[in-house]
Structure 1
Amino acid sequence: MITLETLCVRIGNVPADEVQGWIDSDWLRPAGVRGHYLFREIDEARARLILELRDDMGINDEGMPVVLSLLDQLYAARRQMLRLREAISVPRDDELRSRVRALLASMRD
């Protein structure tokens, strides 16, 4: 885990008050409390994503919550699909596996 100051340096010398604004807007969710935040690797990746969305893709402050929410939903769905794939890859009841595979195949259309 890293501090706010370290995060700011790592993501390109972004001002701490700007990152604090992201926290206040709930775009970043570090551990700890104001003045004593600790950021995980995933928080650093999300901060970099925010910068990329803003600087490279032109997403403004009004659009950022929508884009981040959609990306969060996409990543959650991907994690669920990976878990489902792992669950059906384990040899179990063949009938159940066949039904789940048929359902997934029908969803592709």
Structure 2
Amino acid sequence: MLNEQDVVATVRRVELRELRLWVNEGWVKPAQGESGPVFDDLDVARIRLVCDLRTDMSLPDDAVPVVLSLLDQVHGLRRELRGLVEAVEAQPSVTKKAVIEAYRARLPDDD
């Protein structure tokens, strides 16, 4: 877990002022420690992503929350899909086969 100063030292492309703004905007949601926000590895990865979006991709500030929201939705759907796959895998072979066949039947033809 890192404090604000540690994050700024680790992610050299972000300034303390920006980091605090991003936390206030809800772009990054660190845990709250005894002496302020504390950032985990996922928070640091998200901060790097915001840096990439704003600097490398020149995304305007009003578009950043939209992109972050869409990415969060994609990650949420991936978690749900992984849970569904695990549930199907836990079924007997006959049930798994029936689920796979029913799914394939719903796919559009490639013709």
TM-score tier after normalising by the smaller chain length: 0.7 to 0.9
What's the counterpart of residue 54 of structure 1? 54
Once residues 37 and 17 of structure 1 are traced to their aligned partners in structure 2, the CA distance between those partners, rounded to angstroms, is 14
Q: Are residues 1:74 and 2:74 paired?
A: yes
What's the counterpart of residue 99 of structure 2? 100
**% of aligned pairs identical?**
31
What's the counterpart of residue 64 of structure 1? 64
Superposition RMSD on alpha carbons, in Å? Answer: 2.0
What is the CA distance between 1:102 and its match in structure 2? 3.7
CA contact (8 A) 2:3 2:38 kept: yes
Structure (1/2) with the larger strand percentage: 2
- Superposed, which structure 2 residues align to 1:1-109 within 5 Å? 1-12=1-12, 14-32=14-32, 36-92=36-92, 94-95=94-95, 97-106=96-105, 108-109=107-108
Deviation per CA, 1:6-61, whole angstroms, max 9, x where unpaired?
Answer: 0111111521110000001100000116x611101110010001011111111111
Tell me: CA distance 1:13–1:104, structure 2 relative to 1, closer, same or farther (3 Å): same
User: TM-score when scaled to structure 2?
Assistant: 0.83
CA contact (8 A) 2:13 2:51 kept: no
What is the CA distance between 1:89 and its match in structure 2? 1.4
Once residues 103 and 50 of structure 1 are traced to their aligned partners in structure 2, the CA distance between those partners, rounded to angstroms, is 41
Count of residues paired in the alignment: 107
Deviation per CA, 1:74-107, whole angstroms, max 9, x where unpaired?
Answer: 1111111111112211243733x34432454356
Give ranges in structure 1 of 5+ residues lacking alignment.
none
Tell me: CA distance 1:79–1:108, structure 2 relative to 1, closer, same or farther (3 Å): farther
SS in 1 for 2:2: coil
Once residues 26 and 102 of structure 1 are traced to their aligned partners in structure 2, the CA distance between those partners, rounded to angstroms, is 43
